[in-house]
Homo-oligomer: A and B are copies of this chain.
Amino acid sequence: MSKVLVFGHQNPDTDAIGAAIAFSYLQNQLGVNAEPVALGTPSEETQFALDYFKLEAPRVITSIKEEQADVMLVDHNEFQQSVVDIAEATILAVVDHHRIANFETANPLYYRAEPVGCTSTIILKLFKENQIEIPKEIAGIMLSAIISDTLLFKSPTSTEADQLAAKELVEISGVDLEAYGLDMLKAGTNLSDKPAEVLLDLDAKSFPMGEASVRIAQVNTVDLNEVMDRQAELETAMQTEIATNGYDLFVLVVTDILNSNSELLIAGERKEQVEQAFGVKLENNRAFLQGVVSRKKQVVPQLTEVFN
């Protein structure tokens, strides 16, 4: 049987890695020769989860041309967030929880999307539909993905389905949800030893919006000031990224995971659109957004509407 690679988006977060591991395992049990891979190395948050559940980080690929494999995508569908030569691949399946855009196939495929907080919540359903038992460590990484994507259920992207899924996965993995969850999230907030360009790339996605190309990076912290003290260094790195990649706008969302607020730092030519999207006045290229923690629900749609 031909080989299948399962992977999440570029700049993988815990769901991109965890969903790839879990969905690949499920496919193996269904008789498919699947391998989880990743489009980047794990973040410190993800590595914390992998270490905790004694899982290997998936092999990193940068192209599928040499792999001689069909692909299954998890936690993304937009081609610009996927492997560089995705358009030439045969996509057999997608499991995702994002909008669908810039995605197409030549043939019918298996596509499973639901508007829930985390891909792993959907993958838990798939395990149950196929009556496949979930090993403890796979349940652990799926639980970690849900904690990560929902910020321990504080994000507005979190749904009842995510909470119910987490409850089931807690039982299988045997961890203390609150204690483990906060430890894992905090492991991802160790930003001080990272150069600005690394920090900007930890969890960054590009979005075509109208005629513009918008880059939106997000970092989690337990101390907004610790990040904002480095504003000058961050702005220089954002300008370099804009010059290199032709972005019209670079938005850095710095999210306080303890108090569930975010501060924006902006670079690029479209600052008035940011002010319009969020109903704020930028001061020194910054704005505080009360209660904003979700890029998907509280940043991307608002900006998209202004650009369209």
Q: Is the CB of A113 within 8 A of B111?
A: yes
A90-127 contacts to B, CB under 8 A, are 97-115
- The reply to whether B108 and A115 form a contact with Cβ atoms under 8 Å apart is yes
A296 within 8 A of partner (CB): yes
Contacts of A105 in B (CB 8 A): 99-101
What residues of B have a CB within 8 angstroms of the CB of A111 in the complex? 100, 111-113
Give chain B residues whose Cβ lies under 8 Å from the Cβ of A129. Answer: 129
| Chain B residues closer than 8 Å to A97, beta-carbon distance | 108
Q: In the complex the two chains form, what is the Cα distance from A122 to B47 in whole Å?
A: 38
With a cutoff of 8 Å between Cβ atoms, the chain B residues found around residue A103 in the complex are 100, 103-104
Whether B110 contacts A106 by the Cβ 8 Å rule is: no
A129 to B98, CA, bound (A): 22
- The verdict on A195 contacting chain B, using a C-beta distance below 8 Å, is no
- Choose among B107, B112, B115, B304 the residue that contacts A99 (Cβ–Cβ < 8 A): B107
Residues on A close to B: CB < 8 A?
97-115, 129, 296, 301, 304-305
13 contacts between A and B (CB under 8 A): A97-B108, A99-B105, A99-B106, A99-B107, A100-B111, A101-B104, A103-B103, A103-B104, A107-B301, A108-B296, A110-B115, A111-B112, A112-B112
